Amino acid sequence: MHMQTHQGRRRLRAVALGLALGLAGLSGRVHAASNDNNVEWNGLFHDQGPLFDSAPEPTATQPVMLTFRTFKGDITSANIKYYDSGDGQFHWVPMHWARNDATGTFDYWQGTIPASGSEKYYRFQINDGSKTVWYNAQGIWDSEQPFGDFFIVPGFKTPDWMKNGVMYQIFPDRFYDGDRHNDIRTGEYCYKGHCTEKHAWGTSVFASPGGDNNLVFFGGDLAGIDRKLGYIKRTVGADILYLNPIFLAPTVHKYDVADYYQVDPAFGTNGELHELIENIHRRGNGPRGRIILDGVFNHTGDTNRWFDKYGDWPTPGAYESQSSPWYGYYTFQQWPNTYSSFFGYDTLPKLDYGASGSAVRQAIYGSRHSVVQTYLGPKWRIDGWRLDAAEYLDAGGNGGDDDTNHQIMRELRQAVKSVNPDAEILGEYWGVAGPWVDSGDQWDGAMNYNGFTDPVSRWITGEDEGGNPNAIDTTTFDAWLHGTRADIPGNVQQTMTNFLSSHDIPRFATRAGGDIWKTYLALIFQMTYVGTPTIYYGDEYGMQGGADPDDRRTFDWSQGSLGNRAVALTHRLTQIRDAYPALRTGSFMSLLTDNADKLYAYGRFDATNRIAVALNNDSTTHDVTLPVWQLSVVDGSTLTDQLTGQRYVVQNGEVTVSVQGHFGAILAQ
């Protein structure tokens, strides 16, 4: 949502600094592993990447073979311990030695969890004689932990195009004016005592004194987006478009919907939306693309035909008459002026979802003619919905985040998938989204404020996502990332949207003090980390902007080409990501954290490629020695930096690369 009110309600996870992963000491290879009643933590690894999990998205009839890595000859036995929600019991699976890795450094142990339709959670027990350690998604432990296990959710499929894509988010009025004839003029209409203002492209987003920032228009529209699809697909390299709301509404942000079935005239016509969707799906302007629309389903605007506060529609709305067909769509404490709304904004009356099968549920998602199903259906064929303020949908004016909210989300998922099983359901949530994604029956993923935007901002800019001083060091950064990945299933991790900025927070480049090199560093991380890279329009060139509405400035098209170094870097990074599935669905392993020199390194790998990424968050150049033996890269093999073309030969399991300040290296085998 466009309001800043979320920030006070975020439930940021406590960063588990006690993850004793020993990452800082990974540079020296351990050769002395043996059966000595001591498990070498440095050799242990498992995640749900393709080398370690035979069925990351199993059906109810697929067993799941798990692979676990240890140092060669280090342990005497290993077991999988899993909880099965089907019978409410823990079960044990003994693991057997399977093979060594290519370097001869590691053993791989395997065991299989039998097929069934029930959700399961697993951890590993690793034994060397009398010594036992435990390994789960949160880390390595000397004692068994009651939380942080890996997930197995049979029948839960998140869209592969989302895992493999790059998303581009557009605030329509501020991207490109493709049709001057539909521009809103100054004084064209008034709302809540203020009138519209037309500002010249590139000028201030703030209203004149006494005006309303939400009524400032620049002229961006669907025709403009359509004309720039080649830039989005080819120059930037994004193949998923997410549009902030486009339906009829009085404000520029359109989170106050008046009619879900009509494109706002300032943005174009329904026909132009249809044409835009078709052109996104076509291959002529770049790869086949996808489009996700913003679904504002927690509330409507007070001008909505269902509410009709100002008598704009021919049939009386809930505000006008208690016998209105839509009276029950809202919750009135005292009709007509006291009603439940989004955070008390009387312009945003809250929808009352009532009980299962209610008229509101049918209108929003339940019937073939509902908003959700109409746009997914054969006429429009959009590819997914982003659910605005998704945690708040509820009945009776309640605040959401409860059993009714989850019931609504389960029904909404069934409705979406009944029309298009491959459609994306992306929830807006600023904290730990586990309650909506862990069971596979609600969202496919969430906007990753908690697991990406906030920690990246703190580490690189020294400010949190809201622009407040709040720096963290590299070790804390790594632990935060690890913990937030562990909160959710693997196939959800791969579809979380990883953005540097959004329409609700100050721009990354402004938090970075205008240092474009910090944007370079952030882009390199964004394109090599787990999840769907999501570029908020203009972030690819370092667009600046403060808090809402300044984070919604107009796109500077003098910067929108490969002649801009940041855009050129973005283009190269999306090419690299596209070339290596390991960067999209491969394992993630931390390799090095160095607080003194502000260095961070990690591996992304699968059966085909091993990639080591080194990031330098300092302002000066540093040499980084990467322990690529941890990725089973053999001595004498060559790694090539995908950003510079420089080649490195592995010696003693390591390569040393010189990395400029606020930049990175992507070494691929």
The token duo for 55 is 């069925």
* Cis-peptide, bond into residue 336, ω within 30° of zero: yes
H/E element, 553: none
pLDDT grade, residue 11 (50/70/90)? very low
pLDDT grade, residue 33 (50/70/90)? confident
**How confident is the model over 354-379, as a mean pLDDT?**
98
pLDDT grade, residue 29 (50/70/90)? low
Measured N-to-C along each axis, helices 516-528 and 454-461 cross at an angle, to the nearest 10 degrees, of 140
pLDDT grade, residue 635 (50/70/90)? very high
The tens digit of pLDDT for each residue in 546-557 reads: 999 999 999 999
Alpha-carbon distance 552 to 537, whole Å?
Answer: 9
The percentage of the chain sitting over the pLDDT mark of 90, rounded to a whole number, equals 95
Residue 232 is classified by DSSP as: I
pLDDT grade, residue 590 (50/70/90)? very high
**How confident is the model over 392-397, as a mean pLDDT?**
98
Residue 17 has pLDDT above 70, yes or no: no
Alpha-carbon distance 519 to 544, whole Å?
Answer: 11
| CA quadruple 149, 150, 156, 159: dihedral, nearest 10 | 130
> In 303-402, where does DSSP find H-type helix?
359-361, 371-376
Using CB atoms within 10 A of its CB, is residue 101 exposed (0-12), middle (13-18) or buried (19+)?
A: middle
The token duo for 420 is 């298009």
For 666, the 3-state DSSP assignment is strand
**How confident is the model over 192-218, as a mean pLDDT?**
98
Alpha-carbon distance 405 to 402, whole Å?
Answer: 5
Listing DSSP states for 570-619 in one string gives HHHHHHHHHH-THHHHSEEEEEEEETTTTEEEEEEE-SS-EEEEEEE-SS
Strand-strand pairing, 290-295 and 240-243:
parallel
Q: Which residues are catalytic?
A: 388, 428
Alpha-carbon distance 625 to 23, whole Å?
Answer: 13
Give the model's pLDDT for residue 237: 98
Residue 519 is classified by DSSP as: H
The tens digit of pLDDT for each residue in 398-445 reads: 999 999 999 999 999 999 999 999 999 999 999 999 999 999 999 999
Give the model's pLDDT for residue 14: 34
Residue 450 is classified by DSSP as: I
Give the model's pLDDT for residue 637: 98
Alpha-carbon distance 367 to 362, whole Å?
Answer: 5
Residue 537 is classified by DSSP as: T
pLDDT averaged over the chain? 95
Listing DSSP states for 58-76 in one string gives --TT--EEEEEEEETT--S
Give the model's pLDDT for residue 343: 97
Give the model's pLDDT for residue 4: 34
The token duo for 538 is 């203009």
The tens digit of pLDDT for each residue in 505-528 reads: 999 999 999 999 999 999 999 999
Model pTM?
A: 0.96
Residue 26 has pLDDT above 60, yes or no: no
Q: How far apart are the first and last CA of the chain?
A: 42
The tens digit of pLDDT for each residue in 648-666 reads: 999 999 999 999 999 999 9
> In 355-430, where does DSSP find H-type helix?
359-361, 371-376, 403-419
Give the model's pLDDT for residue 1: 63
Of 601, 611, 602, 613, nearest to 581 (Cα)?
Answer: 611
Measured N-to-C along each axis, helices 565-579 and 516-528 cross at an angle, to the nearest 10 degrees, of 10
The token duo for 181 is 């004839």
Residue 9 has pLDDT above 80, yes or no: no
Of 655, 645, 665, 643, nearest to 573 (Cα)?
Answer: 643
Give the model's pLDDT for residue 32: 60
The token duo for 553 is 């400035």
Cα–Cα distances in Å, from 389 out to 255, 297, 550? Answer: 10, 8, 21
Which residue type, as a one-letter code, is found at position 19?
A: L
User: Strand runs (DSSP E) across 416-520, as ranges?
Assistant: 424-427, 445-446, 497-499
Sign of the torsion angle spanned by Cα atoms 103, 109, 112, 113: negative
Cα–Cα distances in Å, from 435 out to 155, 390, 427, 595? Answer: 17, 12, 11, 34
The tens digit of pLDDT for each residue in 51-92 reads: 999 999 999 999 999 999 999 999 999 999 999 999 999 999
Alpha-carbon distance 255 to 244, whole Å?
Answer: 8
Do the Cβ atoms of 122 and 145 come closer than 8 Å? no
Give the model's pLDDT for residue 216: 99
CB atoms within 10 A of CB 158: 25
Buried b (16+ CB within 10 A) or exposed e, 53-79: bbbbbbeeebebebbbbbbbebbeebb
Residue with tokens 């490969």, as numbered in its chain: 562
Do the Cβ atoms of 257 and 265 come closer than 8 Å? no
**How confident is the model over 312-318, as a mean pLDDT?**
98
Give the model's pLDDT for residue 22: 38
**Measured at the alpha carbon of residue 243, what is the angle toward residues 279 and 223, in degrees to the nearest 5?**
45
**Measured at the alpha carbon of residue 444, what is the angle toward residues 584 and 290, in degrees to the nearest 5?**
65
Could you tell me which residues are beta bridge partners of residue 173? Answer: none
